[in-house]
Structures are given as structure tokens and as C-alpha cells.
Chains A and B, each alone.
Chain A
């Protein structure tokens, strides 16, 4: 029995000559094209109604800061092949924990630590449920989202908690440094940190490997369960920080902080070119995605659309942009 495989005698080029290379480039960077298109559209239509002012751009960046920060951590979660839907509830939990602690007489930094720890704890719980028990993260964090929101409502019977601490409020939301709102400083700083961690550290590389092909990462000696656990803790921590920033900005903590935040954050991440299936991610892209969502909301408000109309238009634009950013299925 003689067996001989027949196949191409020509050398196989190392690069597939795919049309994907040029299309892929456009897709990888589609968020920037879309963002530019959105800016141009609003500049033309409402440029003279206050859209094109430095103040308005500061305003956009300021109000988007919380979503941006949550999406940076969400980028790591999604890059590792998971999802975190509990971020919105955790955001309110942290705000309330911190607010109640300040009202209870704790110093602002102790209270803020409590808030951050509450987020870290929920992230740890999410991560353990996903990695130790093996429940899909979509379900774990969906349940956690509901559970924690219930806790948020119960602790204050939905009453707001005032935060009468000027240092806290200035540092976490309302203040400025060299004329730049602290919220903008927080988000830019964390974007840089997130980008460096994702691109240039062993942790970032392991996150990408875990999401790219978990089995292979395991065989390469990466403890992928540990990596996933860390990304959930990171996400909980970032959501908690966002909660502190919300409460600092509003000088109040409310049970409904961060409602719908999980979806905006996931949209920002996917718009920014991160693969929903993991393994490929960009923090800068995520930042652009978040700012674009913020810009759309801002522009629609200036155009005079009411909340229901804003939601419809913003939702439609997000679907359109994500559809474009996705690789076409054959």
C-alpha cells in the first residue's frame, strides 16, 4: 500500500494573501473612523449650538470618565474570554458603602477604601464562581448584577446618601487640577496605565493568551483560571472606583448609580476593536469607543432629543458601529 500525499509544489507564502489585511486594518481602527464621522456630523449640524466648544469637550470627557474607567477593566475581562455584567451594580454598591462610611464618621480615605474593597470582593466572588465552579461568566455576573442591585436598594431603602466631605468630592469628581477636571485626569491616567499593562507586561500577555486559546495557554504553563480571577477582581475594583467618582461628582451616593453601565462599557470595548471572543484587545480603542458613546449622547442632548429618542438613536448607532467592526462571517 503506497501512500503519497499530493499537494501544491509551490512554496506556500508565510502570509496568507488575504483581502483581510486591508479590510482588517479598517476594522481594527473602525472606531476612529466612526468617531471622526460622528464628530463631523455634530460639528456640521450643531456646531453653532455649543457643540464645538472646549467646555463642551471637557464636559463630554468628564461625564464619560466613569464608563471609560469601567471599560478599561472590561477590556481585560473580555480579552480573557469572559464578560462582567455586574459592574453597574458594583458601582452603586461602592458609592453607597463609601457614603455611609463617611456619614458614619470615617475619614474619607478609609471610607473610599471600604468602597474599593466592596468592589474587589464582588470581583473575587465573580471570579471564583466562574473559575472554581465553572459557571459561565455571563450567568454568574447576570445574577450578581441583580443581587447587588437589590443590596443597593435595601441598604438605604433607595434613599440618597449625601457626602459632606469636600476633600473627597474634590478628589473624586468635582475638583480640578491646573484647570483640568479631576475626572478627566483619572480617566487619562488609567487609560495610560491600562494600555501599558495590557501591552507591555507579562500579565497583559497572559490575559491575551488565555482569551486567544485557553487550552494552549494552559499547556504553556499559564494558570488561566488565576488570570481570569484577576481580571474579574480588576473589573470589580474599576467599577468601585467609578462609583466613588460618581458620588464625588454628585456629592451624593444613590442606589441607581451605574444602571445600564455594563452595556455601555461592553459596547465601548467592542467598538474599540477588542474581540468579543477574547485574545485581541486595545485599551486606546476602548477609550475612543467610550468617548464616542459619550459624544453621541452629548450631541443628541444638544440637538434637543428627549431621553427616549436619545436611547433609540444611540442604540442604533452602537449596533451599526459594532456590525461594522465585526469580521464578516463567510
Chain B
């Protein structure tokens, strides 16, 4: 092992899929013990580059060297042997096996060549977990773990295979704040132990907190590699987008007052254990941001308004009438974009068009037969209006990027001209370009008179578009505040943890 060589050097990497060149002479260098952020919009080429590094794709041209030694990667096992491991965004553990069994899968301690030595395996797994500072019983079933713990187990699994380079793809996407802190602690520990990390994330704050250097990719090329210390967030955003268009993320007071009869009235809503007592109104054309910690009951409230949950107490009135079920909610003009679009929002194997038609079959049929020709005009207009990047409406939704998938989920409801659109975490896993487009779309809808209920863990997103914010804490709305009365993100951040914002003129809604 020679220290003068970087741990990883990728030189002149090229890759095309058919006629489309996705990587053009890419150079990427990783130093020993470095946490190196890899950023870029969807389609920038970062995941292709990492798939080449982990042996999933083969490159068309270029060289890869680990510690100065050129290596050839034919499959995932080659990468593993070279000490490269990927911590997947979508968890790659086996849910039906235990923690210990997962960590040592396929390189278990044996008793003879045929039999397993589970006791030795558990001892080994426990010592790896302890090194990571985790006190986790190796006999726990993986399906019983939280997302954060699963990630810990994945890291432990990589370490048990003597990985020197870890690639983490959006590791915090499904973690709580506490879990994120724990993860950062572990990453720093790994760094101190000389392990190098490629960190893929859309979250700026994390990158500045954690990473030594940033590489930004766009259109298959490296646009910048810089130490974090030399950079500011606007510079980074600009490099990623290619032009300065950060205005989508700046709040503008729409100078609207919402009085008169509300569209939705929520009164004394309770759904134990998470929702205790929640009351609020939403007016037509108003953008209401719902802020709260993960697990504070945000999604439950949204689902109750959409008629998918029956409250234990309290009522939800639309036009003064109680919501009876989901059909009633949809018929009353309520639409919901769920949190997990891949699981609840889309039929991934179906085409863009058929996904967009799904909730609107009544509009495109004569009662018995569905007419695709009637629909295709409407669908194509929406694809254009929303800028959904797809080669054809017949393309399977699976093949689109996260941002474009989300645009399908949102636009399929717009066909119905909803009066209230509920958006639950609409920009999770969506790159910054698509994020801006979705934000702009939300404003446009509200201007046209649609009421919006926006749920998001990204405070900056809530602050960018909301007219009014509801702050949810331990199952209650602790504050109902006009956006213009919030002066900083810091303030809001404290508020969702239960420290109220000083308010000149409290809103009297409920």
C-alpha cells in the first residue's frame, strides 16, 4: 500500500447507451480518508459513473486504478474484491434474515465447509457493529429495523468485506434527524479509519457539513471539483443548473388575504396515537404548509382529509359536508400525491399515458369502453405543460427519472382540476432542476384557484411557497402562522421541535 497514490483514480471514463453518450471523458479522483460529494441533476451521469465503479455497468473506455493498481471490473464481485462497496438507496438487505446473517451473508464463518457457525458469525457481527458504535443485537430480524438501522447494517456488511471505498447514494433520504446525526458520526469515524467515501446527495446542508470536496456533474461531464471550504451554496446550485435560476426557491409574498368560507374545515381531529387534536381551515387558492417532525402525524392528517382514514374523533368538512370516504373526497375535488410515489403513486410498469389516465377513466370513457384517443390529446398537453421528459407517452413510468415520475403523479390529478391538492413530500429524491419546476407549478396552480396543502421535511421548500404555515408538534397544531411573519428558517426549525415563533398577529382560523 503506497500512500502517494490516491485510493481511487478514474480516468477518461466514457459510456454510451446506444447513440446517447452519458459519460464523456470523466475524471474522478478520491483521496484516502476523504468524504467526497458527488452532485448533479438526474441524468447528469453520476449514477452511471458509480455503477461503473461498482461493476454493475462496464465502461466503453477509460481506466480505473485503486491505490495506483489498475483494475478491471467485470461484475459486482470484482468491485467487492477491489474493496469497493455500495450502500444502496433502496435497501439491499434480506428482510427475512437476521442482522448477523445479513452482515456476513455468503462469507459466514463455517464449521467445516458445509455447516454454518452462527455463534462465531454473531460475535463477529457484534464486534463490527460495536466498532461503529451501535449496540444492536445480531439476532434481530432485519424486517424489524428502522430505515436508519438498516443502513447501519449495510455499512457493517460492507466493512465485514474489508471495503476501502464506500459509495453512499442519498443515504439520508429516509432517515430521521437523529439517525442522520448517527450516520454522520459513523461516516466521520470511517473517515478517521482511512476509509474513503463517495457521498451522493441533493441536500446542500449535509454536503457542507460533512464533505471535504465536491464534484458536480452535468450532461455527462465533470463541471467542477472543489474543496467545500472554497464554495458557497449559490455557486454550487449555479454549477449544477448551468444557469442561475435559483428564483424558484425564493419566497414572494403573494399579497393575498384569504377570508370567507373555507374549502376545508378540520375540527378537533384525533387519530391516536399520533394525532391528538388538530383544527384548521384551508381556503380556495391558498397554499398551506404543514410543518412537523417525521412521525408527527402529518401524513395521517392528509390521509384523513383524502378519506383514506377514519378519524377517532373530530370532523373534516368539505363545503360544509363531512368527508365520508375516499370516493367522496375525490368527487369533491380533492387530490392527493402520496409520499411514496413508487409504491402508491404509480404503476411503474405501465406507460406514462396509462398512469395519467388511471384516476380519470370516467373522463375518457363512454361508461364501458376506454378511449385512448380521447385521452392522448389531454395527456400530451399535460406532458408539454409540465415539461415531463419522456420520449413518448407510451414509455413505461419505470424508465423515467424520479423528478419526471413525480411530475406524472402530480399532473394526473390536474386533469380533474382539483380544488384541493394535497402534496406529501413532493420533492423527495427529486433533483434540483425538477424541484424548481414542481415549486413553480404549485404556485401556478394556487394562482389559478386550487388550494394546496403541502407537507415537506425540507423547510426551505415550505418557506418558498407557503402563504400560511401550520406547525404540528406531538399531534397538535401548536402554531398557525402567516409566512410573512416567519423571518428565518432557523426559527421554523425550532418551532417544529416545540419552541414557538414570536408572532405579532396570530391567525384566528380555528
Contacts and interface: CB of A to CB of B under 8 A. Distances in A.
Given A1-B249, A200-B115, A216 B92 contact: yes
Nearest to B293: A8
B180 A3 contact: no
A278 B97 CA distance: 11
Contacts of B271: none
B140 A14 contact: yes
Contacts of B206: 3
B204 A16 contact: no
Nearest to B248: A1
A275 B95 CA distance: 12
Contact of A12 (B95, B146, B246): B146
A275 B96 contact: yes
B95 to A, nearest CB: 6
Contacts of B458: 3-5
Interface in A25-47: none
Interface string B164-193: 000000001001111110000000000000
Contacts of B137: 14
A185 B70 CA distance: 59
A3 B294 contact: no
Contacts of B228: none
Contact of A9 (B80, B108, B178, B203): B178
Given A16-B145, A202-B116, A208-B94, A4 B459 contact: yes
Chain B contact-residue range equals: 35 or more
B147 to A, nearest CB: 8
A221 B106 contact: yes
A3 B460 contact: yes
B203 A208 contact: no
Contacts of B94: 208-209, 212-213, 216-217, 279
B460 A1 contact: yes
Nearest to B182: A11
Given A2-B489, A212-B95, A202 B457 contact: no
Given A8-B177, A12-B178, A208 B249 contact: no
A2 B92 contact: no
A209 B97 contact: yes
Interface of A (DSSP majority class):
loop
A15 B92 CA distance: 19
Contacts of A13: 146
Interface in B278-308: 291-296
Interface string A203-217: 101101101110111
B457 A7 contact: yes
Interface in A254-287: 275, 278-280
Given A15-B144, A200-B116, A279-B95, A6 B105 contact: no
B460 A222 contact: no
B493 interface: yes
Contacts of A16: 144-146
A201 interface: yes
B148 interface: yes
A316 B459 CA distance: 55
A157 interface: no
Contacts of B140: 14-15
B205 A3 contact: yes
A212 B493 CA distance: 40
Nearest to A21: B144
A326 to B, nearest CB: 15
A11 B95 CA distance: 22
A15 B203 CA distance: 28
A132 interface: no
A264 to B, nearest CB: 25
Nearest to B149: A14
Interface of B (DSSP majority class):
mixed
Given A14-B146, A279-B97, A9 B205 contact: no
B489 A9 contact: no
A205 B179 contact: no
B411 interface: no
Contacts of B107: 221
Contacts of A203: 114
A206 B176 CA distance: 32
A6 B493 contact: yes
B136 interface: yes
Given A209-B97, A220-B106, A12 B176 contact: yes
A212 B96 contact: yes
B80 A221 contact: yes
A6 B491 CA distance: 13
Given A4-B493, A279-B97, A219 B172 contact: no
Contacts of B432: 1
Contacts of B493: 4, 6
B496 interface: yes
Interface in B77-102: 77, 80, 92-97, 101
A4 B116 contact: no
Given A1-B246, A217-B94, A202 B114 contact: yes
A221 B140 CA distance: 23
B497 interface: yes
A2 B149 contact: no
Nearest to B497: A9
B122 to A, nearest CB: 14
Contacts of A202: 108, 110, 114-116
Contact of B176 (A1, A8, A221, A280): A8
Contacts of A275: 96
Contact of B76 (A1, A205, A219, A279): A219
A2 B432 CA distance: 12
Nearest to A278: B96
A5 B115 contact: no
Interface in A199-244: 200-203, 205-206, 208-209, 211-213, 215-222
B272 interface: no
B116 A201 contact: yes
A328 to B, nearest CB: 15
Contacts of B234: 1
Nearest to B461: A3
A7 B237 contact: no
A18 interface: yes
A9 B116 contact: no
A8 B294 CA distance: 5
Given A10-B178, A213-B95, A2 B204 contact: yes
Contacts of A7: 175-180, 293-295, 457
Contacts of B97: 205, 208-209, 212, 279
B178 A6 contact: no
B233 interface: yes
Interface in B215-258: 233-234, 237, 246, 249
B129 to A, nearest CB: 10
Contact of A215 (B92, B96, B101, B496): B92
B233 A1 contact: yes
Contacts of B237: 1
Contacts of B202: 3
Given A1-B432, A8-B294, 12 more contacts: A2-B460, A3-B205, A6-B293, A9-B293, A12-B178, A14-B146, A205-B97, A205-B105, A213-B92, A215-B92, A219-B92, A220-B105
A-B pairs, 6 with minimum CB distance: A279-B96, A7-B176, A212-B94, A7-B294, A212-B96, A7-B177
19 contacts: A1-B204, A1-B432, A3-B458, A3-B460, A5-B180, A8-B177, A8-B294, A11-B178, A15-B144, A15-B145, A203-B114, A205-B97, A209-B94, A209-B106, A212-B96, A213-B92, A216-B92, A216-B93, A279-B95
